[in-house]
Amino acid sequence: MPFRNLLVIIIAAVFSIACYQKAVSSRYAGELSYAMQLIENNYVEEVDPQQLFDRAISGMVKGLDPNSIYLPPSQFPQFDESLKQRFGGVGVFVGVNEDTHRLTVLTPLPDTPAWRAGILAGDEIMAIDGVPQEQILLAAIAERMEKNTSEPIALSVKKPGIEEPASISLTRRELDKILLRYDADLGVITLQQANDLPDSLQPEDQILAIDDSTIRELTMEGSTSRMRGPLGEPVVLTVHRPATDATLQVTVKRAEIPLESVRGDTRLPDGSWDYHLQQDPRIGLIRVSSFGDNTVDDVLRALASFEAVPQALILDLRSNNGGYLRGAVEMCDMFIDKGKIVQTLGRGGHVDKTYTAGTSLRLPKNVPMVVLVDNYSASAAEIVAACLQDHQRAIVVGERSYGKGTVQQVYPLKNGRSALKLTTDSYWRPSGANIHRREDATDQDQWGVRPNPGFEIVLTAQEQEAVIRDRGDRDLKSLQSANTDIPLVDQPPEPEVPVVDRQLNKAIEYLQGRIAPQKAAA
């Protein structure tokens, strides 16, 4: 057969296949559109078309894997901000006071709109743009219910005379019928009406949490969401100042607020991080909470901040749930100068890409390292821990990591207002071992990153919570102490019993045994 005729046949075949695939795709799209139109026009109650569309897309990806998700317009901006590590806001750390149950400024960030507007630590934010905190909380609860596209919705309920909260599941329809009220004195949600309650609820019940989010967390979620917004736009804060019992109206123009993902141990007088371990300055401590746009540059700045090369380094990746793959690869490249970093496999198990180290080191290879991980260390954090462990560049201390060995790509939809986060690859550590924990995996299976033998330190849930809270309190005190222009109001109290971080202590003990002993003063 002449080559020209063969070429015509091949082109025709390819065109036919493309047309067939397009026809199939168009048929399903048409049926989906028709189904949505039927629901919109004929369902017994009025349906919001946007919510219907969001639930349809969520349903399509729900059955794929736990990490493939649809990010609707209500959720995508926050996701995007977490990776870009910046947002339009006023610049305050807030918390809910345990005694007053009011949203309270823990500290304004230096040189931010709130700081320049005179917001002080201890100020209580009573309303945002004229909306009282009670209404903000109820709106946050309503939004949380809309985000939950699956049934049922889980409630933690305090019943009279029973100490342990009850776990109750309701359908969205059941919860929609209940009128809720916020009791500011108790800091709980109460039931405003006694009629038409589900059998599992009584009029005296108090709702403590919705879908694992406490009332305190929902208060902060709703409030911080309202304080964020487009750059340059004003937000009006109604502030009660307990020190003078004054109520103020403060107008603040939003500006770009950076999100930190890299931290040291304490703050220097200028507010920057000191990456020397306070209890042994010979050891460096770099804490990385995520892998966003600025993480790699911030770690490079941290390493460059040492006047002399540290004698040892702790890389703390605990509670780091991942982020950009390229960020993990570039971080590994700082500490090894040859060999495989990670390999990604696509559909059918074919090798998509193999990432290898360059020859430029940011820390001499003779400086001993520890990587701290816990059961919340996932994805990009596991890539770093596995790579440094496989190359024997660092030992891993802590507990077995989460086991998320898949790569997601983010595909924007609706002109960038929403997105699909879709699993496209799996990744494998330099040794070729699996990291991903499948739904049917057992403790005996290969997944995650295990600490080196003799360095597994498993914390109880109470220990882990105490360590995280104590670290947050120390960070807040360090920030307040570094900025003398900020009055030190309502600092976190010292714990009655000192919190012991057994994982960090194990890392310090190991590294102190690897470096020269300190010389005693003569």
For residue 310, tell me if it sits in a domain.
yes
Backbone conformation region of residue 402, classed left if phi is above 0, alpha if psi is from -120 to 50, else beta: alpha
Residue pair 180/189 in contact (Cβ under 8 Å)? The answer is yes
Burial class of residue 100 in the structure, from the number of CB atoms within 10 Å of its CB (0-12 exposed, 13-18 middle, 19+ buried): middle
Question: Residue 291: helix, strand or coil by DSSP?
Answer: strand
Q: What is the pLDDT of residue 195?
A: 59
- Angle among Cα 63, 68, 74 to the nearest 5 degrees reads 110
Assess whether 336 and 237 both reside in one domain: no
Locate 84 and state its tokens. Answer: 């870009």
Locate 168 and state its tokens. Answer: 């109750």
Task: Tell me the whole-structure pTM to 2 decimals.
Answer: 0.77
CATH of the domain at 472: 3.90.226.10
Assess whether 290 and 253 both reside in one domain: no
19 has a pLDDT exceeding 50: no
Assess whether 271 and 371 both reside in one domain: yes
Closest by CA to 287, choosing from 332, 320, 311, is 320
How would DSSP label each residue in 256-285? EEEPP-EE-SEE-TTSPEE-B-TT-TTEEE
Assess whether 129 and 251 both reside in one domain: yes
Assess whether 246 and 266 both reside in one domain: no
Q: What is the pLDDT of residue 239?
A: 94
310 has a pLDDT exceeding 70: yes
Domain boundary among 233, 257, 281: 257
467 has a pLDDT exceeding 80: yes
Assess whether 250 and 382 both reside in one domain: no
How far apart are the C-alpha atoms of 178 and 174, rounded to whole Å?
7
Domain boundary among 207, 229, 257: 257
Phi–psi pair at 186, nearest 5 degrees? -100, -20
Ordered alpha helix ranges (H), 270-395: 295-304, 325-335, 380-390
For residue 306, tell me if it sits in a domain.
yes
Query: Which residues form the domain of 249?
Result: 86-257
CATH of the domain at 91: 2.30.42.10
Assess whether 380 and 499 both reside in one domain: yes
Cβ contacts of residue 63 below 8 Å, gap of 6+? none
Q: What is the mean pLDDT of the chain?
A: 85
Q: What is the pLDDT of residue 201?
A: 82
Q: What is the pLDDT of residue 20?
A: 46
What are the respective helix, strand and coil percentages of the chain, to the nearest 5?
A: 35, 25, 40
Summarised one tens digit per residue, pLDDT across range 117-153 is: 888 888 999 999 999 988 888 888 877 776 665 567 8
Question: For the chain, what percent of residues have pLDDT higher than 70?
Answer: 88
Domain total of the chain: 2
Assess whether 237 and 210 both reside in one domain: yes
Assess whether 385 and 292 both reside in one domain: yes
Weakest-pLDDT range from 50-64, 97-111, 180-194: 180-194
How far apart are the C-alpha atoms of 379 and 80, rounded to whole Å?
17
Domain boundary among 257, 287, 321: 257
Assess whether 253 and 266 both reside in one domain: no
Closest by CA to 317, choosing from 266, 254, 383, is 383
Burial class of residue 413 in the structure, from the number of CB atoms within 10 Å of its CB (0-12 exposed, 13-18 middle, 19+ buried): middle
Mean pLDDT of 154-179: 82
What separation in angstroms does the CA of 307 have from each of 274, 278, 311, 353? 11, 16, 12, 37
Assess whether 101 and 201 both reside in one domain: yes
What sign does the dihedral 274-278-281-284 (CA atoms) show? negative
Locate 171 and state its tokens. Answer: 């359908």
Q: What is the pLDDT of residue 354?
A: 95
Mean pLDDT of 194-223: 81
Closest by CA to 486, choosing from 234, 114, 126, 236, is 114
